[in-house]
Amino acid sequence: MLRMQKIFLIGLALTGMASDAHANCVCRCVNGEMQAICQSSIDLPPICPPTICPTTPPAIEPLPSLRIPPIGTSQCRNVQVLNPRTNRYEWREVCY
């Protein structure tokens, strides 16, 4: 019985770690509009709630990256994404 409890606890711990590792999509204000941002092209984007985003400040877009877009995407571009911790927009490269 004790062995079964140990196996159950180890499985539970591994399941908890796996669920944190696969939470790769978040809803963020991008260029003034709420959009889903995913880490991988195979992740299912969540349905983002309608939100009024702060207007993006005028800024000069950084130069585009010279790297090849990740597998499953065709292009990347720089966008302003609202950082919820600082409540400020930051430039991020997002691939589609």
| 24-62 per-position pLDDT tens digit | 899 999 999 999 999 888 888 999 999 999 998 888 888
Given pLDDT bands bounded at 50, 70 and 90, which one contains residue 72? confident
Q: Is 78 left (phi over 0), alpha (psi -120 to 50) or beta?
A: beta
- Mean of the per-residue pLDDT values of the chain: 80
Task: Give the Cα separation of 8 and 6 in Å (integer).
Answer: 5
Reading the block at residue 7, the tokens are 């196996």
Region of poorest pLDDT, from 5-9, 13-17, 22-26: 13-17
Residue 8 has pLDDT above 80, yes or no: no
pLDDT of 70 reads 86
